[in-house]
Amino acid sequence: MAEARLQVIAGGAVPQVPLAADPWQFQAACVDAFVASWRVRGFSPVTVDNDIGLPEQS
């Protein structure tokens, strides 16, 4: 059996600077992503609207 080895691959997919320095902007982006993922997965608009407050409360 061939020996498995790790290999470093040059990328650049990870940003070198913070995406959002402001924690409120970061939280807003997380909530927006949460809502978008639920809408894409077909959750009812009522369910999405009722649960939007959950991540905003933390």
Residue 27: inside a domain: yes
Q: What is the pLDDT of residues 34-49, one digit of tens each?
A: 889 988 999 988 888 8
- What integer is the mean pLDDT of 12-40? 80
Rounded-to-10 torsion of CA 44, 50, 51, 53: 150
Query: What is the domain range of residue 43?
Result: 23-57
Residue 2: inside a domain: no
- The total of structural domains in the chain comes to 1
Residue 15: inside a domain: no
Average pLDDT, the chain: 78
- What integer is the mean pLDDT of 9-29? 75
